[in-house]
Amino acid sequence: MNFDETDKKLLLFLQEDCKQTTKELSYKLGLSVTAVYERIKKLENLGVISKYVALLDRHKINRDFIVLCHIKLTQHKKEFVLQFEREVMNLQEVTECFHVSGDYDYILKIGVKDMEDYRNFMLSKLTALQHIASTHSSFMISEVKNTTAIVL
């Protein structure tokens, strides 16, 4: 898809703060309120803007212990892969799950309260999933970059 400079700016402004009014955006972009509204609707209808969300502060909700857990499945049978993916979708502690190439099959980003909370998660939820051969966990020391913005 090709975007003009105005669309690119608009998308950046919306990613910074999607609660801005069309009036505020029109002022920043030098367009009429109607033109901004129509551009936003076009981007939504095309699926470029897929949803609007509130980003929570992990520290304020006691979910600031971040773990990257590498998962290896016992086999790569289609039914094992699909079952694992269905089950991991129900784990509220898992905020991201990537099917990857290399030594492991999946990488999970997990947010919990602390090490004890992670241990409980591992023992009661993650290891209860079928077809997991092994796990390898890495713990976040500090957050260097964390953004949801995509610059075009």
The alpha-helical segments, DSSP class H, found in the chain are 5-16, 22-29, 33-45, 78-88, 115-124
44 has a pLDDT exceeding 90: yes
Q: Is 144 helix (H, G, I), strand (E, B) or coil?
A: coil
d(CA 88, CA 108): 9
Q: Is 87 left (phi over 0), alpha (psi -120 to 50) or beta?
A: alpha
Q: Which domains does the chain have, with CATH numbers?
A: 5-46 (1.10.10), 58-139 (3.30.70.920)
Work out whether strand 65-73 and strand 132-139 pair parallel, antiparallel, or are unpaired: antiparallel
Mean pLDDT of all residues in 2-9: 96
- Global pTM exceeds 0.75: yes
d(CA 119, CA 123): 6
| Bridge partner list, 108 | 69, 97
pLDDT of 127-151, one tens digit each?
999 999 999 999 999 999 999 999 9
pLDDT of 99-130, one tens digit each?
999 999 999 999 999 999 999 999 999 999 99
1 has a pLDDT exceeding 90: no
